[in-house]
Amino acid sequence: MAKRSVATMALPLFLSIFISIFLISITCFQEERSIYLVLLEGNGVAFHEGLCDGDSSRIDPNSEASKARANHLLASHDLLLQSTLDKGGYNKLHSFKHIINGFSVHTTPSKAKKLKGVPGVKLVAKDRGAKKMTTYTPDFLNLPKGIWAEEGGVKNAGEGVVIGFVDTGINPHHPSFAYNPLHPFNSSPSPFRGECQSGPMFPDTSCTGKIVSARYFSAGVEAATTLNASVDFLSPFDADGHGSHVASIAAGNAGVPVVVNGLFYGRSSGMAPRARIAVYKAVYPTAGTEADVIAAIDQAVMDGVDIINLSIGPNEPPEDTLTFLGLFEISLLFARKAGVFVVEAAGNKGPAPSSVMSFSPWSVSVGACNTDRKYHASLHLGNSQTIDGVGLSGPSLLALFKLVLAKDAMKTNGTFPRTPEYIEECQHPEALDPKIVLGSVVICNFSAGFSNGTSTLAAIVDTTKALGFEGFILAANPTYGDYVGQPIPFAISGILIPRVADAQVLLQYYEEHTKRDERGTAIEFGAVAAVGEGRIASFTGRSPVVSRFSSRGPNIIDKDKDPADVLKPDVLAPGHQIWGAWSPMSVTAPELRGDNFAIISGTSMAVPHVAGIAALIKQYNPSWDPSMIASAITTTSTKYDNLGELIMAEGYGINTLYPSTPFDYGAGIVNPNWARDPGLVLPSGFADYIRFLCSVPNVDKGKVNATTGEQCHNPFDYPFNLNLPSVTISALRGSASVRRTVMNVGNYTETYIGSVLPPNGTIVNLCPTLFTISPQGKQELEIKLTVIQPTQNFSFGQIVLIGNLNHIVRITLSVLPVSVH
């Protein structure tokens, strides 16, 4: 909040009101000002004749000649404005002096039009603005006006709840995790008890209140491999960035400025910005082991966390047992038994079916989707064509520059290998002729190195800086097809062209304007291009859309991918192009090195959204157990997008969409404001999960006893009778009766009426369809499903319970009708 001046605060009330009205009456008759960018003739300091040989990296900005040129430009800008516009009619904001010659000015449209007619003015363009958008997802999920407001605003959201993050550690120096002594926490989180383990890059002072505990687990990884002491710190410090990113999404402080490469992108906030953070580092840049992860989960439960966030975990199903009986899943079962809400990543193996990597009904599996925020980058060609691309990059000086294909700039007498990374991927500056590429926009190809992961964008950026490119392009290669480009912030102008069709348009234009000799060597470069502004977001289009990488159902019970009677993923949350805190070391993502924030994608990013939302629900309903929180989140989710249509999902091809199903989105996109007060929940406990395990087809009951310590005395008739907030039947033959029990968690007696949308090939009868339920009361529902037409694939439906106090409860139905008998 902005501070009012002392003078204004001292004014009598009537005088303040009078001045306000007077100022409003005047401004009503004035043009509204905007920011305009003005480009002038003449070079900036870096390219001014006599100061350099054309290589801007060799300019000394503190030299007397450079200072003289800069002062001359500054004076010329001021003189142009003073001689063209009336005093008081404008406010110059910046003078661009080093790489371009121009300025930005805050003025009216009519005065901007006047500037366009001044000799020496090349361009006047209106600034399109940069909306505050980081972390945009609280607004996308409507938290500020919803559950945050209900819990006392952002300054109280998540108070008293501890989220444990089993991940790559945390960057304790980041402002997202700073403790503000002017806004102390209300009390110590009880009964939490942790420890702050110090070590390299993680001093004793790292746990100051926001971070209440920090531990690391390395015995497994130290046994499995040789660690690199320069990056694999034996401390809770995050050298990777992943753990810091995840923690900030769930519980990062509110209102943290996000600045990358000098540009302010907005202010960040976690879903539950007043929740406490407990860190359990179990994955290292070099490697990670399931043993360390399970040890971390075990310790987190012992410490007393309320929620465990698992954005990491095994990447394959167990080899020699049912998915539900793997030790990782069993550790989560006991976390649930201890009253800890566990939320996991669905996995990043989509869009293949049965690719989900979170299996058990006692944890919540989260798929990833986009938001309506999109960054649009563009490449402008000399023939007036524009090609869309990806990249958070500033424009290349508002002008067109020579376009050069990297392999046409290769040194002919170099001793380097003639491999793709040298001749076309811009990985090694020594392979390119600096006289050709200096001041040019260089086309680098997506080739073998990028396909196998040995080449990096960071190397392209380094080459660009070393040789003085004006900008770079990473163009798709027909040999390798379209690739997925992410909007990575670049400190220099650059753009990714991930579609082969667009790359071919670019290369056709290039070849048409490039002269070659009889040997095919480029001898004249006539093509020109400019990288456009790529850092401005738009907030239009369809959302949410299930992300391509998000793992899909149906859930599986074994490595042979036999389907399970449990819906996965459970729910959908934003996980595509999400801003979050980062570690400047960025060991595994060199293109983000030095940045304090990063925009990345994955179901890893979707998980902390749900973890933070669970913290808000826990704060509002402290007596709820994990199954009640899970039920509230899923039964209040929606399967419709912002256009009022069924959520779509990305397919294998770039920009391909198909109508999604619950195997893509689970119950739907999470709605935290409805989840806080769901009306009804479907609770289940540890004994119910044992009954479920004992009812899984072909289960070894001795193994259930061995892994859980419990006997199979009272299994369910079928595993689908576990009291989940969904019904999944992987092989329905004839008919089946399914039972569900709902509990009223509201404060008032409510009457519900039920309706059914049956899956194709079935009829579904619900009994009762009308019932009245008192607070804390329970009601059993019988759901009879009968096959009327066998199908080859699963079909989907839902049961909807609508209460007279405006509660709406949805139970998703997923059924494979196999036979009528």
Residue 302 phi/psi, 5-degree rounding, is -65, -40
Q: Please return the burial class of 150, using the count of CB atoms within 10 Å of its CB with bins 0-12, 13-18 and 19+.
A: middle
Cα(456)–Cα(453) distance, integer angstroms: 7
**269 included as an active-site residue:** no
- Pick left, alpha or beta for residue 453 (phi over 0 → left; psi -120 to 50 → alpha; otherwise beta): left
**106 included as an active-site residue:** no
Q: Catalytic pick from 604, 684, 726, 730? A: 604
HSE of 289, CA atoms in CB hemisphere, 13 A: 15
End-to-end CA distance of the chain: 68
Count of H helices and E strands in the chain?
21, 38
Cα(711)–Cα(688) distance, integer angstroms: 12
Burial 748-766 (b: 16+ CB within 10 A, else e): eebebebebebbebbebeb
- Structure tokens that stand for 621 in this block: 């309903």
- Structure tokens that stand for 479 in this block: 């040999």
Cα(434)–Cα(453) distance, integer angstroms: 26
**376 included as an active-site residue:** no
Beta strand pairing status for 34-40 and 102-107? antiparallel
Q: Catalytic pick from 48, 174, 242, 576? A: 242
CA 423: distance to chain centroid? 34
Sequence-separated (6 or more) residues with CB below 8 Å from residue 734: 786, 787, 819, 820, 821
Angle subtended at Cα 804 by Cα 802 and Cα 805, rounded to the nearest 5 degrees: 100
Q: Catalytic pick from 98, 167, 363, 695? A: 167
Sequence-separated (6 or more) residues with CB below 8 Å from residue 709: none
Cα(587)–Cα(171) distance, integer angstroms: 13
290 close to 220: Cβ distance less than 8 angstroms: yes
DSSP-assigned beta bridge partners for residue 214: 196, 279
- Structure tokens that stand for 557 in this block: 């019970």
HSE of 713, CA atoms in CB hemisphere, 13 A: 4
Q: Please return the burial class of 51, using the count of CB atoms within 10 Å of its CB with bins 0-12, 13-18 and 19+.
A: buried
DSSP class of residue 32 equals P
Residue 730 phi/psi, 5-degree rounding, is -80, -15
Residue 610 phi/psi, 5-degree rounding, is -70, -35
Q: Outline where DSSP puts E strands in 628-767.
A: 648-650, 657-659, 680-681, 726-733, 735-744, 750-757, 762-767
CA 111: distance to chain centroid? 41
DSSP-assigned beta bridge partners for residue 264: 259
Q: SS3 for 437?
A: helix
By annotation, the residues acting in catalysis are 167, 242, 604
